[in-house]
Amino acid sequence: MNYINPILRGFHPDPSICRVGEDYYLVTSSFEYFPGIPLYHSRDLVNWKQIGNCVDRISQMPLSGTADSGGIWAPTIRYNDGTFYVTAFILGKGNFIISTEDINGSWSDPVWIAMDGIDPSIYFEDGRAYYCTNAREHPDREEISMAEIDIRTGRLKSGIKALWTGTGGGYMEAPHVYRIGEWYYLLTAEGGTDVNHTATVARSRTLWGPYEGCPDNPILTNRNDTSRNVQCAGHGDLFQDQRGNWWMVHLGTRLSRRTMSYLGRETFLAPVRWEDGWPVVYEHGRALISCDAPLWAAQQERKGLAFDFADKEWEPQWLFLRQPDPSMYERGGGRLRLHPAPVSFESLTSPAMAVVIPLDFECRTETRCRFEPEKAGDEAGMILYLQSDFHYRICKRRTDRGDFVTVEKKAEDFIQTAYEAAVEKGDIRFRIDADKESFHFYYAVGDGPFQFACRVSTRFLSCEVAGRCFTGLLTGIYALCEEKTGAAADFYEFFMN
């Protein structure tokens, strides 16, 4: 049966997966966004539903002051003896484990692990737990290392031992250990999470090694192949379905322009077969958009998102920067009210902004806003947000000259007003139509027809232009002010399709 990658589109990097019976659970990185570590469920591998976020309490994992692409990196999810475990790395604080016995309930506060390295993973065997990162037993070389831990306290129960030094691709990370048949397999990523990204594998007859590398490493990469629409393939997690078939989830990037992508790294699904005791990913180790594989359900067409703010509770798709202030948000009864503070996007704090992940390159987003600014600097509208110094927005803004609909572009230290037109009082609707090359901005006063504001290139919101951007574009609504207090903005609907 044919399916189309990616299975999770937009900002969904560093996927990890586990199976419990016929249920599959998948997590990805969330970096500086709250709630953190989105959790997805599927029973067929190609149709996924977000059922929550593993980090959903500010007290659980404070993110105040987190830099762009900081925060929570590369989670791993595993199930053992009735309990789900997620482990991840948070920049500046280290590695942690959270757990739950109810996948639809709350997750624990973090247990911190006294082991260096990033992209941690857990392996369970015979009642013992082993922790694996790219920590170095020998500081003069790259390697993947492991230690036995107490899963309840995080205490190390053994020394840290190096398992493998990789293939020389550099930036060894994302280790996972599996026992498959009579072999232990160590899956890693090399090359950095850019165009040189790869997945490599080694195996051993014993858990602690020595591990020998696959003669066909890397087993997954799209490097040096600019003819393909997928780049940056790597960082995978192997698993077996209930029918005995093998698969890998991994990250990859689809290009919006020749060498650029604004959606960021996405989650792909790869069929895996075994030859001479080694995994073969896809047909020849190259990530593909269209795949034929032994699925048991058809992939459904993409569905849009529609939010009417009828309830006080936030849907799991909504994200906030760093550590949001709950007093800035008031929702229910068909309205979301944003109370702004004099907080800029560049301040590494948390402005009054709520965003979601775009559904694809070709995407339309629309909202309705009631906003009457009181002072110069008050503004509210829609935003396309990549990181603190790369974002576009369309808004209603008060200046010393009056109230205007404005489209503003910011790319590092370059700020441009791409459109400006005077606007009267009354409700205003904003719309952004996206494709691979351009964002098209529209607005309408009341129930009147949409007016075209301007077209801007997607180029400056690509991760490649921003540099060291591990996230991807998000879109949503916001309100800002320059003085201590500003006019509140009411949003009555938010659509994406």
**Mean pLDDT of all residues belonging to the chain:** 97
What pLDDT was estimated at residue 140? Answer: 86
173 catalytic residue (yes or no) = yes
Q: Domain 2-292 sits in which CATH superfamily?
A: Glycosyl hydrolase domain; family 43 (2.115.10.20)
State yes or no: pLDDT of 139 exceeds 90.
no
Give the model confidence (pLDDT) of 31-76 as tens digits.
999 999 999 999 999 999 999 999 999 999 999 999 999 999 999 9
Contact by Cβ (8 Å): 19, 26: no
Candidate list 143, 173, 237, 408, residue with the active-site label: 173
What pLDDT was estimated at residue 387? Answer: 97
Give the model confidence (pLDDT) of 186-223 as tens digits.
999 999 999 999 999 999 999 999 999 999 999 999 99
Neighbours of 306 (CB within 10 A): 11
What pLDDT was estimated at residue 229? Answer: 87
Q: What's the CA dihedral at 258, 262, 472, 131 to 10 degrees? A: -10
The backbone torsions φ and ψ at residue 115, rounded to the nearest 5 degrees and listed phi first, read -145, 130
Q: What are the structure tokens assigned to 354, written together?
A: 């709520």
State yes or no: pLDDT of 432 exceeds 90.
yes
Q: How far apart are CA 317 and CA 476, in angstroms?
A: 11
State yes or no: pLDDT of 174 exceeds 80.
yes
State yes or no: pLDDT of 365 exceeds 90.
yes
State yes or no: pLDDT of 228 exceeds 80.
no
Give the model confidence (pLDDT) of 322-349 as tens digits.
999 999 999 999 999 999 999 989 988 9
- Give the domain ranges of the chain: 2-292, 305-496
For the chain, percent of residues with pLDDT exceeding 70: 100
State the sign of the Cα–Cα–Cα–Cα dihedral 227, 232, 236, 242.
negative
**E strand or H helix that includes residue 465:** helix 463-466
Contact by Cβ (8 Å): 375, 486: yes
**E strand or H helix that includes residue 40:** strand 36-42
The backbone torsions φ and ψ at residue 4, rounded to the nearest 5 degrees and listed phi first, read -115, 130
Give the model confidence (pLDDT) of 70-83 as tens digits.
999 999 999 999 99
Candidate list 14, 119, 143, 148, residue with the active-site label: 14
14 catalytic residue (yes or no) = yes
Q: Do β-strands 438-445 and 428-434 pair in parallel, antiparallel, or remain unpaired? A: antiparallel
CATH 2.60.120.200 fits 305-496, yes or no: yes
Q: How far apart are CA 463 and CA 27, in angstroms?
A: 21
What pLDDT was estimated at residue 259? Answer: 83
What pLDDT was estimated at residue 257? Answer: 84
Give the model confidence (pLDDT) of 466-482 as tens digits.
998 999 999 999 999 99
Confidence of residue 224 (pLDDT cuts 50, 70, 90): confident
Q: How far apart are CA 250 and CA 232, in angstroms?
A: 10
